Amino acid sequence: MKKIVLFAASSALTVSALAADLSTEDQKIAYAIGSQIGNSLKNNVNGPIQLDETIVFEAISDVLAAKKSQLSQEEMNTVMQAFAKKAGEHAQKKAAEAAAKNQAEASKLLEENKAKEGVKVTDSGLQYRVITEGSGKKPAATDTVKVHYKGTLADGSTFDSSYDRGQPAEFPLNAVIKGWTEGLQLMSEGAKYELVIPAELAYGAQGPGNIGPDRALIFEVELLEVKTQEQKAEAKPTAEKSAEAKPAAEKPAEAKPAAEKPAEAKPAAEKPAS
């Protein structure tokens, strides 16, 4: 035990010295590697077990110094298999707790929201409220829409926003969650709606990390433009014509690096990859 405590103390001094002076490339690489190891341990280990950092430091030191391992390979395999089982059980327990909490939160949100003035509920359970009515065309499920939107959770936190990215999102309406496909077909170009979407019309139990399982979602959506299949088909020949070769005597436009073209922002409402 004394050896471990002394090792931990010396490790702390070494880390402190590095933190004070990361002037060389090798020092920065070493710190980055240590940071990755620390984050991995923090994210994947803490919780299922109580991690003894001093023993972790000692094991790393033994490996780097080429010392004989204090555990045989067979012992390591046995304890790591037991840990993997414990970690899996811990993750399942946490997921079940999160789902139960989110389901209760969603029920409360939907019950309270449907009682608000102006809120309508469809047969599927989608709740919507007209903020501003539009006057343009309505999209079909097969159309492509351009929208601005903000997605929030019941606690008011924002998990996604095209406004924050500074540009609207554009996507096929049949490639998003069910609540969006249904809700946007109620809207006309120029309209702004609030959609409160039950979990079963959103991501269900497969909610991504910044949302979580079984959460109802709140979206403020502005429908800017509808592009029908016919419009897209008509635009294609025009695009092909503009791509025709220019006379050789003309000076070609300077090519822009591909990296300069911003990647299209994908709305959080898109379906998760299967």
CA distance 208 to 212: 6
Q: Which position among 57, 128, 143, 149 bears the catalytic label? A: 149
State yes or no: is 149 an active-site residue.
yes
User: Which is catalytic among the residues 128, 160, 171, 193?
Assistant: 160
Q: 57, 128, 177, 218: which is the annotated catalytic residue?
A: 177
What is the Cα–Cα distance from 176 to 148, expressed in whole angstroms? 15
Given the residues 57, 128, 193, 219, select the one marked as catalytic.
Answer: 219
Q: What is the spatial distance between Cα 163 and Cα 267, in angstroms, rounded to a whole number?
A: 11
Cα separation, 59 vs 64, in Å, equals: 9
Closest to 168 (Cα-Cα) out of 223, 235, 208: 223
Q: Angle at the Cα of 113 (from 121 to 156), degrees rounded to 5? A: 130
Catalytic residue among 193, 203, 211, 214: 203
Is the CB of residue 194 less than 8 Å from the CB of residue 121?
no
159 is catalytic: yes
Whether 160 sits among the annotated catalytic residues: the reply is yes
Among this protein's residues, is 7 annotated catalytic? no
219 is catalytic: yes
Q: What is the dihedral of CA 199, 201, 202, 203, to 10 degrees?
A: 80
Instruction: Identify any residues that bridge with 152 across adjacent strands, giving them in sequence order.
Output: 158, 218
Q: Are 135 and 187 spatial neighbours (Cβ–Cβ below 8 Å)?
A: no
**Which of 159, 171, 193, 214 does the annotation list as catalytic?**
159
Active site residues: 149, 159-160, 177, 203, 219
